Structure 1
Amino acid sequence: MIFLIVMKDVWKTYPNGVMAINGIDVQIQKGEFVFVVGPSGAGKSTFIKMIYREEKPTKGTIIIDDTNLAELKERHVPYLRRKIGVVFQDFKLLPKLTVYENVAFALEVIDEKQEDIKRKVMDVLEIVKLKNKARAFPDELSGGEEQRVSIARSIVNKPKVVVADEPTGNLDPDTAWGIVDTFKEINERGTTVIMATHNKDIVDKTKKRVIAIDGGRIVRDELQGEYGYEI
């Protein structure tokens, strides 16, 4: 059994005294699809941010692909993030760049060769079904299309894990399902997917692993789980 992510006795207290994560222990296998659920303020976003080292634990161990994030020097964080794709609720696209350029940017910052950039960008635009929108700008896209560009950007480096914080939060139900189907396809290609969400319908019908966080603790961890909270 290969564990891609291991958290041992992880705590996170912010400078204002708020304890966001309260002694978490969890293991996530390579190739899993995991929903992270719980009420607002439960610690889901902090949990997600610690995986890509946006936040550091106050105490405890986080190991991703044999790297201990608690001991990782700041200069090595960009190299860690090549293994981790991140998808945000608000897309974070660059408005003056085309779809192609937004995705290519993730490769240009790591000095990828131009001929490789073109091939890789068009490959991921094919996966997210946006090859015909390569020359469009973000303001010419629907919200769902913008989110798929964000997903394409997150997977163009072929990361080992993609983390998504409320990626369907701003989308209508039909569009949200399209985004989830895209994540499922990425997962079927071997990438571990971890998604924080409030979308009960998607969690209940998708039947993937569910980690429920409440009060900074994992209160439930089920294979083929359900959302478990009233909306």
Structure 2
Amino acid sequence: MIEMSEVYKTYPNGVSAINGISVKINKGEFVYVVGPSGAGKSTFIKMMYREEKPTKGSITVNGIQLSKLRNTKVPIFRRNLGVVFQDFKLLPTLTVYENVAFAMEVIEEHPKQIKKRVMEVLDLVGLKHKARMVPTELSGGEQQRVSIARSIVNSPQVVIADEPTGNLDPETSWEIMNILEEINNRGTTIVMATHNRDIVNNLKRRVIAIDNGKIVRDEQRGEYGYEY
């Protein structure tokens, strides 16, 4: 699903964020990306959904070579990706239903199909009963559930989650993880950047640790590891 080969990323200010990463993530995997602040995790994640472009090397996601992808084609590429952010990025004036439906409207899905699918995913994340509310009427955990519903409404093959529990309390974080687990169990590949030691150590999956822009550890059913 995702393959990087000898990838480097140097920003215009001279900072080298990624220094020769090669990695392969297979269909159906659930992968944690861990590491200290400033290690290159965010750049690593952002390159997967073409928010950042590598300075050197190749990245392939869902069979698409990202370094050769024209900027005008990026929105089409992202239709097969779901992205979940730490700060939710919901549209404040739209209801829960409208926030999720928007992802289908932009690809001009049929209104009947939109209604059916939106209610399905809201049911999955436990928010069907709050479809008419706006984000300010929801808790942080509920807003993140809306964000997850929006990310999966178009049935993406891959969900990329950047610190999805970073702003949430421990109990709510586990609720979010249960939803992500269910999505993964249905066949969606999940790549999740996180600082949450308890989640990584208790919900054991593949762990990719990044430090100084390099992969320093890649373990199946790994642990969070040393202090970050």
1:105 — aligned with what? 102
Quote the residue 1:155 is aligned against: 152
The amino acid of 2:163's aligned partner reads E
Structure 1 residue 87 corresponds to structure 2 residue 84: yes
Question: Which of 122, 126, 130 does residue 125 from structure 1 map onto?
Answer: 122
Q: In structure 2, what is the equivalent of residue 6 of structure 1? A: 3
2:47 to 50, 70, 73: 50
1:52 and 1:104 mapped to 2: Cα distance? Answer: 21
Amino acid in the other structure paired with 2:144: Q
Q: Which stretches in structure 2 are left out of the alignment for 5+ residues?
A: none
Alignment coverage as a number of residue pairs: 228
Partner AA of 1:138 in structure 2:
P
Consecutive aligned runs of 4 or more in structure 1 exceeding 2 Å deviation: none
Q: SS in structure 2 opposite 1:210?
A: strand
- Aligned position for 1:38: 35
Compute the displacement of 1:66 (Å): 1.4
Residue in structure 2 matching 1:164, options 157, 161, 166: 161
* Alignment match, 1:179: 176
Letter in 2 for 1:53: R
Partner Cα separation in structure 1 for residue 88 and residue 137 of structure 2: 14
Deviation at 1:220, TM superposition (A): 0.1
Q: Partner of 2:189 in structure 1? A: 192
Instruction: Deviation per CA, 1:154-200: give whole Å up to 9, x if none.
Output: 00010010001111000000000100111000000000000000000
- 2:123 pairs with 1:134: no
**Could you report, residue by residue, the CA deviation over 1:79-106 in whole angstroms, capped at 9, with x for unpaired residues?**
1100110000000001110000000011
CA RMSD of superposed structures (Å):
0.6
Residue 75 (structure 1) shift? 1.2
Aligned AA for 1:86? V
* Other-structure match for 1:202: 199
Q: Percent identity?
A: 69
Q: How does 1:207-226 map to 2 (within 5 A)?
A: 207-226=204-223
Contact 1:34 1:194 (C-alpha < 8 Å) held by counterparts? yes
